[in-house]
Structure 1
Amino acid sequence: MRHIARLFWILLLVCLSPLALGERLRLVSDDWAPYVYQHDGQPRGIDYEVTNQVFARLGVEVEWQFLPWKRCLVMIEQGLADGILDIFQTESRQPYLIYAQEPMSEVEFVLFQASARRHAVTQLQDLAGLTVGTSPGYAYGDTFNGATYFTREAAPTHEANFGKLVLGRIDLAITDRRVGRYLLHQLGMQRQVEELPLVISRQTQYLGLVRKPGREELAAAFAEELRRFKQEPAYAAISNHYTGDIGNILNAVEQQESSTAR
């Protein structure tokens, strides 16, 4: 039955999608390590590699472009790219974006603070009067985005936010837990910046495709093949290649936290 289902989706893609005629799919994203990012000018990341593998199985060629997230969103809304990787589902994007309904990954937004300037934050209301570094175009959840009792200050990159944090120009920074830990390791800032336990929101990331003829079929075929790929050793190998490093980072962070706990 598995082989029959796979054959069905491939035949559907070939018959209905204009991509089958040799069109190259242009995907955009920003640097969001370890999910998708550039290293020495070359694309990398868990979700990047998985996406390439799935599209290769569907016979679809992919071209990648890395841009600031807010610009990625504008390009998608204006139809200047074919798709976007690791985007959250929102009602406002439904008119122009189709989601492949199998998730790529999940993120957990948390706060980071300078070790030299700690804040007692155990709930969102504790942010009153503080300034939190954000990234343009990011959706951190309705409660966080709509709160009026603290200041949100956007920076062009996650690195810039951590730099401002260390310099005391902002009180806290928000990003995905895994992204933050990965970045602190890369920047050598594990002793200068620490993570707070409060989870602001949890979100699921998807591949989004611009609404065009054949794209709904392509999104369905991608989701079906992604579900299948997740059951294979190749998927685990890709994940372990990146999360192995993250595991070492997490151990180092936990040791540091235990040694500096109040």
Structure 2
Amino acid sequence: MDEWAPYNYQENGRLTGISTDIVRAIMALTGDDFEIQLMPSMRATLTLRNRPRTIMYSLFRTPEREELYKWVGPIVEESIYPYQLAATAQPINSLEQLMHAPRISTRHAGLVPALLQELGFRNLDKSATSSMQLYLMLLAGRTDIIIGDTPAGVAYYSRELGIAPGTLRRIPLELFRAPLYIAFSHDSDDALVAAWADALNQLRRSGELERIVQRYLPAQGSDHAAP
């Protein structure tokens, strides 16, 4: 897995997050005890493609990726929005304004910067190597707009950095929406994939899946992904 809060990340030396807890709950039901490793995003994706019998989470299931892996999910469905400071003198409200903004900062690699380039953005700063860096850049005035996290992720980093409510403004443009899945390399045993899918369905039917998700969300609960 890669570092992407609040779905999978490391805290006080322990791997945690929504998807991590769900994967552990699945393994408790299936009797598996696979090692979970934290890797940079691009390395994790390359490992999934090239190392036999590998599992990766959390991965957006997109049409381009559909045939590359075997899938178990969805875990949750999420969206990506741009964010700027609420006190900005130039609030962005349209895609045209966004595409002509002086600078948009995103992470240096991964699905989001690739998506933005495909959409035709030419004002991207891809110098950030982590989500945390994006928020620090925005707060320090080193960038005007950041794109990289779901609303749940923005809520997580706002808590971590002590960003007061109302400081950040979600620009009302849903740039991307897709479900998050657990992805299996193509050589993974079909019986294993089926067992994980069945275990996830058990968690969903029992209400445990929702309980795990809610533990990581801000007080407004399921409204974290509202437009």
Alpha-carbon shift at residue 188 of structure 1 (Å): 1.0
**What amino acid does structure 2 have at the position aligned with 1:51?**
V
Q: How does 1:1-262 map to 2 (within 5 A)?
A: 29-79=1-51, 82-94=54-66, 96-100=68-72, 102-130=73-101, 131-140=103-112, 144-154=116-126, 155-174=128-147, 175-190=149-164, 192-214=167-189, 216-243=190-217, 246-247=218-219
- Which residue of structure 2 aligns with residue 12 of structure 1? none
Q: Alpha-carbon deviations, 1:8-34, whole Å to 9, x = none?
A: xxxxxxxxxxxxxxxxxxxxx222222
Q: Tell me, yes or no, if the aligned pair for 1:73 and 1:137 is still in contact at 8 Å.
A: no
Q: Alpha-carbon deviations, 1:157-196, whole Å to 9, x = none?
A: 0111111112222220112111012111110123643322
**What amino acid does structure 1 have at the position aligned with 2:90?**
H
More divergent stretch after superposition (107-116 vs 199-208)? 107-116
**What amino acid does structure 1 have at the position aligned with 2:134?**
N
1:247 is paired with a residue whose SS is coil
**What amino acid does structure 2 have at the position aligned with 1:160?**
Q
Unmatched tracts of structure 1, length 5 or more: 1-28, 252-262
Unmatched tracts of structure 2, length 5 or more: none
1:119 is paired with a residue whose SS is coil
Q: Aligned pairs, how many?
A: 219
Q: Tell me, yes or no, if the aligned pair for 1:84 and 1:208 is still in contact at 8 Å.
A: yes
- Partners in 2 of 1:67 and 1:220 — Cα distance? 26
TM-score (norm 2): 0.84
TM-score (norm 1): 0.74
Q: Tell me, yes or no, if the aligned pair for 1:182 and 1:249 is still in contact at 8 Å.
A: no
Q: Tell me, yes or no, if the aligned pair for 1:140 and 1:200 is still in contact at 8 Å.
A: no
- Partners in 2 of 1:249 and 1:236 — Cα distance? 10
Q: Alpha-carbon deviations, 1:87-137, whole Å to 9, x = none?
A: 02245545642212x201111111111234353322222113322122244
Alpha-carbon shift at residue 156 of structure 1 (Å): 0.5
Q: Tell me, yes or no, if the aligned pair for 1:127 and 1:150 is still in contact at 8 Å.
A: no
Task: Name the one with the larger helix percent.
Answer: 1
2:44 is paired with a residue whose SS is helix
If asked which structure has higher relative contact order (CA below 8 Å, sep 6+), I would say: 2
- Partners in 1 of 2:29 and 2:211 — Cα distance? 17
Q: Percent identity?
A: 21
Q: Tell me, yes or no, if the aligned pair for 1:52 and 1:62 is still in contact at 8 Å.
A: no
